[in-house]
Amino acid sequence: MAGTVDVESSGVVAIVRLDDLSRAVPLTEALLRGGVTAVEFTFTNRLAARVIESVRDSMGEATAVGAGTVLDPETARTAILAGAQFVVTPTLNTSVIELCRRYAVPTVIGAFSPTEMLTAWEAGATYVKVFPASVGGPGYLKDVRGPLPQLKLIPTGGVSVDNAGDFIRAGAVAIAVGSNLVDAKSVANEDWSVLEERARALIAAVQSART
- In this structure, the number of other CB atoms found within 10 A of the CB of residue 95 comes to 13
- 129 is an active site residue: yes
Q: What is the full per-residue pLDDT of the chain (211 aa) written as tens digits?
A: 344 567 898 999 999 999 999 999 999 999 999 999 999 999 999 999 999 999 999 999 999 999 999 999 999 999 999 999 999 999 999 999 999 999 999 999 999 999 999 999 999 999 999 999 999 999 999 999 999 999 999 999 999 999 999 999 999 999 999 999 999 999 999 999 999 999 999 999 999 999 9
* pLDDT computed for residue 3 by the predictor: 43
Question: What distances in angstroms separate CA 48 from CA 20, 51, 65, 68, 106, one per listed residue?
Answer: 10, 5, 11, 9, 18
Nearest-angstrom CA–CA distance, 18 and 33: 20
Which residue is catalytic, options 40, 74, 98, 122?
Answer: 40
User: For position 7, what pLDDT does the model report?
Assistant: 86
Which residues on neighbouring strands pair with residue 15, listed in sequence order? 40
> Domain locations in the chain?
2-210
pLDDT of res. 2: 40
Give the per-residue pLDDT at 210: 96
Contact 127, 7 (CB under 8 A): yes
Class of domain 2-210: alpha beta
The pTM score is 0.95
Question: Identity (one letter) of the amino acid at 122?
Answer: E
Rounded distance between C-alpha atoms, residue 11 and residue 203, angstroms: 7
Measured distance CA(126)–CA(4) in Å, rounded: 11
Catalytic residue (one of 29, 129, 190, 197): 129
Report how far Cα 115 is from the mean position of its chain's Cα atoms.
Answer: 21
Q: Which of 206, 160, 199 is nearest to 27 (CA)?
A: 199
Query: What burial class does residue 210 get, using C-beta atoms within 10 Å of its C-beta: 0-12 exposed, 13-18 middle, 19+ buried?
Result: exposed
Q: Can 74 be counted among the known catalytic residues? A: no
